[in-house]
């Protein structure tokens, strides 16, 4: 048994080492020497016990492998801040893990603010190091540029100083971290391709389908806005491949198909469903469409009340322009998908609302808000309202809880409502935005559509002073400065 265990441990160790063979190990002793030797380097400052570091390491190793042979050269390196790299980490003010920084011949260029998955890291670094647009000199260089699984945008210019060329280069610098650009003024290439003064978007072979053009020619104006609009409009096609790194680029109204999206292990199966999505989606130009890996976006499925996707068929989820959520309940087919989209556009679907049950007894000094009773407890309660959006596991929220309870009791007879809302188990309604916990808002009774984020102190007196000052009508028990109001007996 022990022999088997040791053999397994050895295999794991060998696998880890093999995965990281292309990542340069740096220490206090060799840091400066190695970085001066390497032309361009991304350095990960890490701690072995750090969970985020452990998750990043395999992606980092894959990116290092992907960048082998890149022109110009790009290396990936790592420094253990808890052992052999303590002095170096202190020198570069590393205070959290992992921290990534870009170096050129030993000189610090900038912090790394790009993606944290292999393809995204490689793409981001190529954009940072190389020119915004690659110059193509002949047919072979164009062919090489287009031999990629990513969209490529190529400018064909007889005069590289023309207005369109100038706009193209400006846009390429702006979007270089997201889009692959190339350009040419070589007469032989212009003649062969038949383009004289235009920009062409090429879809990669893996994304080609019979429902949309694989080569799209820019036919708009010469301005920067025109060029950028052309790219934004056509880059993802009818149904884009949505990943964790680019998900922010897909705007509502958005319809997403979740299934086993994998262009590395199963491109044929991935496109089998994508093409069926496109077949229907092409007739709904007012909506945006995407496909996403169900495994990478489990958190989004949870937001729609779905624990997992059964079977191989896509699960369709959507958000309209108002960010309301909708679930296609029928099993996917071309017919059911088309019906769902027609109903979505006709506003004939009932939105999905993630909500806890409405409390049976909500008579306490601090009202409990849930998604289903938010209008009653906050929006239409006819009172000024202070709302806390919290998470049960949040330490700051737990610390605030007794203060909030005391505040509710002190203001129990006022025209003010104190409300708490668990934002982890309930959908947060618009126009409220919650990006951390606790988040507090002040909603005046006559302006509930324009709540104000509360940025004041968290002590009972801080809340009293704020509410006394901002209340629509002066409080009964406090003056506008938050001091206890004098009673008639006090005046006598």
Q: Kind of pairing, strands 180-184 and 152-157?
A: parallel
Q: What is the C-alpha separation between 156 and 144, in angstroms, rounded?
A: 16
Whether cis (ω within 30° of 0) applies to the bond prior to 289 is no
Number of helices followed by number of strands (H, E) in the chain: 16, 20
Residue 101: both structure tokens together: 């920084």
Q: Is 451 helix (H, G, I), strand (E, B) or coil?
A: coil
**Does 394 qualify as catalytic in the annotation?**
yes
CB burial of 322-357 (b: ≥16 within 10 Å; e: otherwise) equals: eebbbbbeeebeeeebeebbeebeeeebeebebebe
CB atoms near residue 391 (< 10 Å): 18
**Does 397 qualify as catalytic in the annotation?**
yes
Greatest distance between any 2 Cα atoms in the chain: 101
β strands within 262-383, DSSP E:
288-293, 315-319, 325-327, 366-369
Return the residue matching tokens 């009653």: 376
**How is 277-293 classified by DSSP, letter by letter?**
HHHHHTT-TTSEEEEEE
DSSP letter at 71?
S
CB–CB of 215/152 below 8 Å?
A: no
Please name which of 110, 122, 18, 31 lies closest in space to residue 70, comparing C-alpha atoms: 122
Exactly one of 109, 186, 394, 434 is catalytic; name it: 394
Q: What is the C-alpha separation between 109 and 127, in angstroms, rounded?
A: 14
Q: How far is CA 80 from the centre of its chain?
A: 28
Q: What is the C-alpha separation between 293 and 257, in angstroms, rounded?
A: 9
**Does 89 qualify as catalytic in the annotation?**
no
First-to-final CA distance of the chain: 90
**Does 81 qualify as catalytic in the annotation?**
no
Residues 6+ apart with CB under 8 A from 373: 358, 359, 362
Exactly one of 30, 50, 250, 306 is catalytic; name it: 50
Exactly one of 77, 100, 316, 397 is catalytic; name it: 397
Burial of 193 (0-12, 13-18, 19+ CB in 10 A): middle
Exactly one of 23, 53, 118, 443 is catalytic; name it: 53
Which are the catalytic amino acids?
A: 50, 53, 394, 397
């Amino acid at each position: 048994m022990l022999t088997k265990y040791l053999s397994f441990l050895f295999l794991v160790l060998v696998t880890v080492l093999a995965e990281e063979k292309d990542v340069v190990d740096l220490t206090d002793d060799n840091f400066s020497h190695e970085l001066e030797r390497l032309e361009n380097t991304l350095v990960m400052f890490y701690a072995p016990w750090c969970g985020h570091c452990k998750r990043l390491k395999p992606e980092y190793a894959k990116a290092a492998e992907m960048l082998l042979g890149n022109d110009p050269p790009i290396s990936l390196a790592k420094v253990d801040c808890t052992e052999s790299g303590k002095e170096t980490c202190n020198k570069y003010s590393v205070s959290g893990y992992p921290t990534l920084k870009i170096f050129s011949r030993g000189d610090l260029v900038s912090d790394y603010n790009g993606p944290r998955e292999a393809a995204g890291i490689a793409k981001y670094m190529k954009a940072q190091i190389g020119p915004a647009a690659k110059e193509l000199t002949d047919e072979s260089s164009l062919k090489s540029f287009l031999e990629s699984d990513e969209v490529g945008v190529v400018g064909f210019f007889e005069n590289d100083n023309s207005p369109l060329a100038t706009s193209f280069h400006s846009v390429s610098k702006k979007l270089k971290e997201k889009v692959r650009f190339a350009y040419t003024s070589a007469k032989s290439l212009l003649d062969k391709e038949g383009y004289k003064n235009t920009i062409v978007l090429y879809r990669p072979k893996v994304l080609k389908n019979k429902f949309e053009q694989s080569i799209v020619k820019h036919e708009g104006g010469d301005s920067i806005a025109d060029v950028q609009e052309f790219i934004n409009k056509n880059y993802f096609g009818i149904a884009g491949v949505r990943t964790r790194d680019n998900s922010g680029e897909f705007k509502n109204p958005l319809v997403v198909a979740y299934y086993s999206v994998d262009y590395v292990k199963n491109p044929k199966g991935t496109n089998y469903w994508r093409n069926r999505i496109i077949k229907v989606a092409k007739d709904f130009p007012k909506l945006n469409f995407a496909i996403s890996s169900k495994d990478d976006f489990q958190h989004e499925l949870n937001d729609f009340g779905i624990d997992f996707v059964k079977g191989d068929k896509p699960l369709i989820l959507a958000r309209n322009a108002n960010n309301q959520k909708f679930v296609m309940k029928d099993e996917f087919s071309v017919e059911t998908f088309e019906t769902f989209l027609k109903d979505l556009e006709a506003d004939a679907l009932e939105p999905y609302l993630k909500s806890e049950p409405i409390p049976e007894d909500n008579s306490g000094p601090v009202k409990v808000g849930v998604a289903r009773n938010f209008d009653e407890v906050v929006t239409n309660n006819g009172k000024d309202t202070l709302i806390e959006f919290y998470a049960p596991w949040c330490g700051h929220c737990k610390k605030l809880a007794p203060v909030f309870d005391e505040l509710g009791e002190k203001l129990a007879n006022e025209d003010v409502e104190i409300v708490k809302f668990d934002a982890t188990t309930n959908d947060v309604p618009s126009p409220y935005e919650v990006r951390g916990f606790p988040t507090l808002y002040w909603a005046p009774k006559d302006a509930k559509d324009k709540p104000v984020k509360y940025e004041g102190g968290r002590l009972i007196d801080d809340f009293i002073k704020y509410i006394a000052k901002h209340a629509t009508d002066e409080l009964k028990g406090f003056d506008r400065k938050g001091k206890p109001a004098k009673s008639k007996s006090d005046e006598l």
